[in-house]
Amino acid sequence: MFESGEVQAPYPQYRCPVDGEDLPLTEARITVTCERHRPHEEPPVFTVREATSADRKAIELICDRVWGETDIDCFGKAFDVLAGENLVAEVGGELAGIVSLAIDRGEQAIVMLSVYPEHQGAGIGGALVREAIARTERAGLPFVKVATTNDDIPAFYFYQRLGFVVYEVDCGTVVDHHGEVLSGFAGIPIRDEIRLRRSAC
């Protein structure tokens, strides 16, 4: 985890599909292509499984790179990823992505979803969310919900493609929480929490 006062270079969260350069969040840009053009000519083979205590360090690392901590604020409260139900995707025995789940007010919440840049666009994020939906149905819960922020266009696209719909927007909550306006995807100011959900079946 970050030490107090330590200055961290922004960790690359995306990868340019044109030249393969790793991109910090604010330097990523979006483009429109046809559906035939995929980021990977040969998508990697991956597996999805429940996390075990042996995954703790790898989970801390991916949280650190995306959020700087393992406590995630959403839906008006803080969730500890390490205390959640975590599913991990692996490529070649290495952690490629994670979804962290918690039950909040009778609904399944996706507290965090992250896929490492080199593995994005290969279906891993979709597979993790589909497994979360299947678990929600098995648990008899009505909805799976997720919170994203106004800047995060890739996530907003991604969740709507998976059948999630917006049900609530908490305007200005991210600014209130941080006490300042942070720059997010492509340098867009992060202000609002956008909440989406879909039924579990």
Q: Residue numbers of the site for ligand COA (CB under 6 A)?
A: 11, 13-14, 39, 62, 65-66, 113-117, 120-126, 154-155, 158, 161
- Which of 170, 86, 157 is CA-nearest to residue 126? 157
Least Å distance between CB 120 and ligand COA?
A: 3
- Smallest distance from the beta carbon of 126 to ligand COA, in angstroms? 3
Helix (H) / strand (E) element for 157: namely: helix 153-161
Residue 51 Cβ vs ligand COA, minimum distance, rounded to whole Å: 16
H/E stretch holding 57 reads helix 56-66
Closer residue to ligand COA (CB): 9 or 140? 9
The whole-angstrom separation of Cα 119 and Cα 17 is: 11
CB closer to ligand COA, 18 vs 106? 18
Query: Coil, helix or strand for 146?
Result: strand
| Min CB(161)–ligand COA separation in Å | 5
Helix (H, G, I), strand (E, B) or coil at 122: coil
User: CB of residue 87 vs ligand COA: minimum separation in angstroms?
Assistant: 13
For residue 90, give every residue at least 6 positions away whose Cβ sits within 8 Å of its Cβ, in sequence order, or none: 46, 47, 49, 96
Cα of 2 vs its chain's centroid, Å: 20
Q: Closest CB to ligand COA among 10 and 142? A: 10
DSSP 85-121: EEEEEEETTEEEEEEEEEEETTEEEEEEEEE-GGGTT
Toward ligand COA, which CB reaches closer, 48 or 175? Answer: 48
In the complex with ligand COA, which residue's Cβ is closer, 40 or 105? 40
Comparing CB distances to ligand COA, the nearer of 121 and 189 is: 121
Instruction: Give min distance, CB of 9 to ligand COA, in A.
Output: 13
